[in-house]
Structure 1
Amino acid sequence: MKVFGPDLSKLVKFLTYGVYRPGIQMRRNSWQDGVLGTNCPIQPKKNFTYQFQVKDQIGSFFYFPPLNFQRESGGFGAIIINNRNVIAIPFALPDGDIVILIGDWYTQNHTALRTILDSGEELGMPDGVLINGKGPYQYNTTLVPAGIEYETINVDPAIHFFRSKTYRFRVHNVGISTSLNFRIQGHKLLLVETEGHYTTQQNFTSFDIHVGQSCSFLVTMDQNATTDYYIVASARFVNESVWERVTGVAILHYSNSKGPVTGPLPLPPSDIYNQWSAMNQPRSIRQNTTASGARLNPQGSFHYGSINVTGTYVLRSLPPVMIDGKLRATLNGISFVNPDTPIRLADMHNVKGAYKLDFPNKPLDRTPHKDRSVVNATYKGCIEIILQNNDTRMQSFHMDGYAFFVVGMDFGQWTESSRNNYNKWDAISRCTTEVYPGGWAAVFVSLDNVGVWNLRMENFDRWYLGQETYMRIINPEENGDTEMAPPENIIYCGPFRACRRNQKALLQWHWSVRLPTRRLYLHDYLNFLAQQLFNLPSQVLQE
């Protein structure tokens, strides 16, 4: 595994934060997931070492701080997991790997953006798009002032006269809320992978990458090598005349280039007012069923379409509304509030009322409200999740701990008859899918990863406003094989904040008794701590 990005130690001096890695499945180990429902945040001037395996995974991913809009201020970087040497990749070995991080950008910092949302307003149009953390090349003297630092990607055009070099571009949308169209002037993008799964290979002149998504393209340096070329990431599905400034521009520089790039940017897709046409692109992404990923057996050997579906969840998202005087976003009418104690930690210590296992499996006709409702899922079940976007803007849906099969996508309201058009053979498997406004997407998930896993809208403003929940998947016959024990360096918070200095002894005791065989109420537990860990009389904590 290779990691490309900033030194996160710079964050610990000032921020309460965590680190999340979308697409890395943390098999049997939701203790390391990094979001508030599974981990207490890392406190300022403290550190935490995440320990996890990337077993049975390959591909292109990234990491970022998930709390309080911190991703807007940076702290993100790329993760590359390569195939083992004994497993061939389904294309010729590229001549190099190039990481491209694209994302919308606001001049205001993450605390100011939170203040905007907390005041009941929406964020509005971003101030630009960054490519690898840098501003746009001055392609237009009116829109782009001089002196802005921009990204340059250096490449070699050819190995010899008969063969041009081919590079693997790993592109990640690390932004806050804006879908972006990615393109390289004069070059074709051969899609080969999305978030850890190889795709059937097809060429695109441009490609839509939505918030939180990752894609790999093979790009051959077969153009006139005496000039440079534009690399562009521009806002998608917006009024382009108004959003013209929301464009990131980098330079593709051939090693024997004789001069800078000139002329206008390559045009974006012309289907802005024809989203039916735009949806054909994600619908065309199919899994390469004969390629091998992390294992020798082909990706298509898992016949998801023949598995019995044990449950269906219809998750409906709506535009934000005012709840208790604050702007909030909902799924099925519930705006999620993170518990004081992370869910699995609350399980381990039998904290009563930390959350509720009552998330509805379909929208209910009731007043939107805030709650701590969690999905109570069945281990080894296979569920169908319908993502109904009744909002007015494009959304990205993400699930931690899993990759799901995107079996269907369309406009209008999903109905049971929509299943007739599902792709049950070669649907792409990924962890983040787009859901068009006024449309739906359907995914299948095989629940074989024990733990507590976040379901959310990846658009940060909606996520911050409560458009998320968690799925609790517990093996009732747990013997240590399907879920790892909590790490010795686990962070405590909420009612257990005072237990940090004795956490090792605390963990040893609790993991030895196993939750199904012993139940403690919170006051019993605190009395035990007083006697066993702090050498205090139990009555000290009675008050």
Structure 2
Amino acid sequence: VIPIPYGYPAGDFTLLIGDWYKTSHKTLQQSLDSGKPLPFPDGVLINGQTQSTFSGEQGKTYMFRISNVGLSTSFNFRIQGHTMKLVEVEGSHVVQNLYDSLDVHVGQSLAVLVTLNQPPKDYYIVASKDFRGPFSLQLQCCTTQTHKPRFLDPCLQLLHSNFIGQCSRQGHIARPNPQGSFHYGKITPTKTIILANSASFINGKLRYTVNGVSYVNSDTPLKLADYFNIPGVFTMDSIQGLPSGGAATVATSVMPVSLHDFLEVVFQNNENTPQSWHLDGYDFWVVGFGSGQWNPHKRKTYNLVDALTRHTTQVYPNSWTAVLISMDNQGMWNLRSAAWGRQYLGQQFYLRVFDPVRSLTNEYDIPSNVLLCGKAVGFHP
């Protein structure tokens, strides 16, 4: 049994934090369809509320599980008068450090331990991004009131939380493996893919692209089209593994990779806003990040010893982030912006992880009762 690398907390609180719009989702969708970006949100809600209270006892330690469930907004999280010990990021234990505040980008989750070592009174729990009014919670130790803290923009807080992360060896110690040891830092990547996001206008409307291609949905699920070999649904040459520099286009874009490839993927962000990327079906090692343009010499800065595994990563403005991925899960997997407006307007594509030799070891057979739609209607499993 591998022990948890921290003591059991006195309490465990979940904070689902996200931006909030007074406008309905249908109106927001219409705005995107008309070629406009999402507007600035009206506020931030924590667990669906503008204000609530958690109670704790002085001297005890509590776990706070924090997730950014919003559409587009990164936020800065902090607890007034207290430091936070970061212990988990998206299910992975990390080297434990203390932070005054942490940025949490769209789609990301983390867990912190907080010891209530201050005099008993109310302390604000704050998630903010330069909004006009405070949206906070109170950690209540007694009834004494405290002053509201200053609210900061996450862009001013990058030094607090651009750590990328190191994996805790105590919580992820290697299990006995009769086939030998597996360590990501000792494996030579089979392929390097560089993905550049951008905002473009196509037919007079705003679209977001990856390597110059803006994704459009097909009326036939891609996995069905792939399984039944249905032509005309997607193409595997519409998106390239390097930025093209050409005019932006739209396509149902799929990038082929082979099962058991070991990929180096570089997210290149040449825009002035932070990005958040998510990959379905996998986690990956976040091995490096930096400002400006990535080039092969940046590999010298990679953490090839104890990098964190996660499935969502941020890319700072005019910067890059590098990840390593072991492609050991056959299927059709979506790689996308975690910001919903960008995803909806095309900042996504699919990775087709495939082995031509069919084997139940790699992938189960399609269910006999699978629902068929689009061009797959009439086919039989």
Query: Shorter-chain TM-score: what band?
Result: over 0.9
Deviations along 1:403-432, one digit per CA (max 9) or x if unpaired, are 111111111011111111111111111111
* Displacement after TM superposition at 1:296 (Å): 4.6
C-alpha contact 2:17 2:67 (8 A) present in aligned 1: yes
1:129 to 44, 50, 58: 44
Farther off after superposition, 321-330 or 169-178: 321-330
* Displacement after TM superposition at 1:480 (Å): 1.0
Deviations along 1:489-524, one digit per CA (max 9) or x if unpaired, are 533321346x6xxxxxx7xx52xxxxxxxxxxxxxx
2:311 aligns with 431
1:201 to 93, 96, 104: 96
C-alpha contact 2:128 2:153 (8 A) present in aligned 1: no
2:80 to 185, 188, 197: 185
Cα distance in 1 for partners of 2:332, 2:247 equals 27
Cα distance in 2 for partners of 1:484, 1:152 equals 47
Q: Does 1:248 align with 2:135?
A: yes
C-alpha contact 1:175 1:212 (8 A) present in aligned 2: yes
Query: In structure 2, what residue type is equivalent to 1:460?
Result: W
Q: Secondary structure at the match of 2:162?
A: helix
Alignment of 1:57-72 (within 5 A): none
Q: Normalized against structure 1, the TM-score is what? A: 0.66
Q: Structure 2 vs 1, CA of residues 270 and 462 (structure 1 numbering), >3 Å: closer, same or farther? A: closer
2:341 to 461, 474, 485: 461
* Displacement after TM superposition at 1:283 (Å): 2.7
| Unmatched runs of 5 consecutive residues or more in structure 2 | none
1:331 to 166, 188, 210: 210
* Displacement after TM superposition at 1:266 (Å): 4.8
Deviations along 1:113-158, one digit per CA (max 9) or x if unpaired, are 11111112222211000000112xxxxxxxxxxxxxx22223233x
Q: Secondary structure at the match of 1:182?
A: strand
1:343 to 222, 228, 234: 222
Q: Structure 2 vs 1, CA of residues 307 and 281 (structure 1 numbering), >3 Å: closer, same or farther? A: same
Query: If each structure's helix is expressed as a fraction of its own residues, which one has the higher value?
Result: 1
C-alpha contact 2:230 2:376 (8 A) present in aligned 1: no
Q: Secondary structure at the match of 2:193?
A: strand
Q: Structure 2 vs 1, CA of residues 233 and 339 (structure 1 numbering), >3 Å: closer, same or farther? A: same
2:7 aligns with 92
C-alpha contact 1:88 1:292 (8 A) present in aligned 2: no
1:471 to 344, 347, 351: 351
Query: In structure 2, what residue type is equivalent to 1:258?
Result: T
C-alpha contact 2:100 2:160 (8 A) present in aligned 1: no
Q: Secondary structure at the match of 2:135?
A: strand
2:189 to 309, 321, 328: 309
Cα distance in 2 for partners of 1:488, 1:91 equals 46
The root-mean-square deviation of aligned C-alpha atoms, in Å, is 2.1
2:63 aligns with 168
Aligned pair count reads 377
| Unmatched runs of 5 consecutive residues or more in structure 1 | 1-85, 136-149, 158-163, 500-505, 511-543
Instruction: Tell which structure's C-alpha radius of gyration is larger.
Output: 1
* Displacement after TM superposition at 1:380 (Å): 0.6
Cα distance in 2 for partners of 1:189, 1:182 equals 10
Identity %: 42
Q: Structure 2 vs 1, CA of residues 423 and 292 (structure 1 numbering), >3 Å: closer, same or farther? A: closer
Cα distance in 2 for partners of 1:443, 1:398 equals 12
Query: If each structure's strand is expressed as a fraction of its own residues, which one has the higher value?
Result: 2
C-alpha contact 1:170 1:216 (8 A) present in aligned 2: yes
Alignment of 1:395-406 (within 5 A): 395-406=275-286
Query: In structure 2, what residue type is equivalent to 1:464?
Result: Y
1:258 aligns with 143
Farther off after superposition, 281-290 or 466-475: 281-290
Q: Does 1:371 align with 2:258?
A: no
C-alpha contact 1:87 1:296 (8 A) present in aligned 2: no
Q: Secondary structure at the match of 1:216?
A: strand
* Displacement after TM superposition at 1:348 (Å): 2.1
Alignment of 1:267-306 (within 5 A): 268=152, 272=156, 278-279=158-159, 281-283=161-163, 285-292=165-172, 296=175, 302-306=182-186
Q: Structure 2 vs 1, CA of residues 470 and 404 (structure 1 numbering), >3 Å: closer, same or farther? A: same
2:56 to 155, 164, 181: 155
1:421 aligns with 301
C-alpha contact 2:89 2:109 (8 A) present in aligned 1: yes
